Amino acid sequence: MLPFFLRHNISMKDYSSHIAIIGAGISGLTLGCVLQQSGVQVAIFEKSSTASEQGAGISISPNGLRILKNIGIENGLRSESGNPKKIQFFYEQIQLTSFPINIITTSRQCLYKHLLNKFVSLGGEVLFDHEVLNIDLIEPKISFANGKSLNVRHIAACDGIKSKCRSLIYKGTAQPTYSGYSIWRGILEKKQSDNHIHLGPNFHIVTYPISNDRVSFVAAIKSPKEVIESWKAKGSYQDLCNDLPKSTRSIYESLQGSNEIYKWGVYIKEIPAQLFDNNITFLGDAAHPMVPFLGQGGCMALEDAYIFGKLIVLKSDLEISQKLYQKLRFSRVKRIYKDSLLQGKLNHISNPFIIFCRNFLMRYSPVAFLKPYIIWDYDPDVEIKKIS
């Protein structure tokens, strides 16, 4: 938790020349770092009382790592995370294919900690216990659940999948809908050096190291039965076993007796045609929550934040920055949003003949790694240069 003076120095301060970032998550903290590094006045408003304490895992692929490197936290994060060198795909416990990777797999808690520490070390200010309730885009002005109202220069909506900002501005496209997938997660106390993906009809299981002796376990189930969207909803080991075939039990049996097994529904939202409106810009899941099957939601949040921040610094004019942000981000996030849905379908195929074809292609062609490599190749600085 931040020291008292950082959490409560809010009473009389004027924020009318600040960029107000809503949400101290992946996109909010990253944007905060980029702006603070260049001396742009910025403050982050977060509804919770502390930074996230999520123990769940997250993998950051090379496109996201490029950004963490640029803001100066890649090495620190790497030293506390899993650094798998290879990804291996299995079907019925038999390896289909594998390819080399350069990614960081870590806990969300660790990623948030490094981003927050960086922002604070740059002199950045996070105002916790500030839940946005209303927005007036004309002034612009934000009203909070704690009774405060503040005039600001611009609003960067980084408030995640349940974005209040988005529901206030884009009423029609704001409601998340159940994607048809639910997810089990837990942490296995063991050592594992590589990423493993087990494909099966109507499910797949992903495990990766998040430190020397802890492994993130995620099992996605294709199921029409709607499950609530919550990081905190617990499930039982028995229900987990019921959802997966017996042959996979050896992967997660150390969760037996654990009180830390969670189940939640994966939700998505339509991407609005425009990622900004008058005086407000949407980033990360507030703009485009996607199914997690390419592991790109957090990386898109990093890319959005880095690019929007750099554009604000380069152009000084917020309207121009918003238009360029739209130009650079819309088609990429839309493509990856669709590709993630397609990947979900490929991972959960149940027709035996199509499974045979998919597995054959994975074994004997480069199909499994072509798509990730194309996505991972993205360099935001090169993209910004192209339009400057």
Residue 290 or 368: the one with the smaller Cβ distance to ligand FAD is: 290
CB of 179 to ligand FAD, least distance (A): 10
Q: Is position 25 an interface residue for ligand FAD (rule: CB under 6 A)? A: yes
CB of 31 to ligand FAD, least distance (A): 9
Contact 285, 272 (CB under 8 A): no
The residues, ordered by sequence, that sit 6+ positions from 31 with a Cβ below 8 Å of its Cβ are 19, 21, 42, 156, 158, 283, 305, 306, 308, 309
Contact 115, 131 (CB under 8 A): no
Report angle CA 237, 239, 243 to the nearest 5 degrees.
115
Residue 171's identity, in one-letter code, is K
Stretch that binds ligand FAD, among 82-90, 294-302, 334-342, 375-383 (CB under 6 A): 294-302
CB of 312 to ligand FAD, least distance (A): 17
d(CA 357, CA 363): 10
CB of 64 to ligand FAD, least distance (A): 6
Residue 108 or 359: the one with the smaller Cβ distance to ligand FAD is: 108
Return the residue of 19, 20, 21, 26 that touches ligand FAD, per CB under 6 A: 26
Return the residue of 297, 309, 344, 380 that touches ligand FAD, per CB under 6 A: 297
Return the residue of 32, 55, 84, 292 that touches ligand FAD, per CB under 6 A: 292
Residue 90 or 112: the one with the smaller Cβ distance to ligand FAD is: 112
Q: Is position 22 an interface residue for ligand FAD (rule: CB under 6 A)? A: yes
Q: Is position 109 an interface residue for ligand FAD (rule: CB under 6 A)? A: no
The pair of three-digit structure tokens given for residue 317, joined into one six-digit string: 């004019």
Q: Which of 229, 218, 223, 231 is nearest to 265 (CA)?
A: 229
Per CB under 6 A, which of residues 304..343 are in contact with ligand FAD?
none
Strands (E), 138-277: 141-144, 149-151, 154-157, 177-188, 195-200, 203-209, 215-222, 262-268, 276-277
Q: Is position 298 an interface residue for ligand FAD (rule: CB under 6 A)? A: yes
Q: Is position 131 an interface residue for ligand FAD (rule: CB under 6 A)? A: yes
CA dihedral 222, 85, 55, 266 (to 10 degrees): -20
CB of 155 to ligand FAD, least distance (A): 11
CB of 233 to ligand FAD, least distance (A): 12
Contact 103, 81 (CB under 8 A): no
Contact 294, 288 (CB under 8 A): no
Q: Is position 164 an interface residue for ligand FAD (rule: CB under 6 A)? A: yes
Tell me which residues touch ligand FAD (CB under 6 A).
22-28, 45-48, 52, 58-59, 131-132, 158-160, 164, 183, 218, 266, 284-286, 292, 295-299, 301
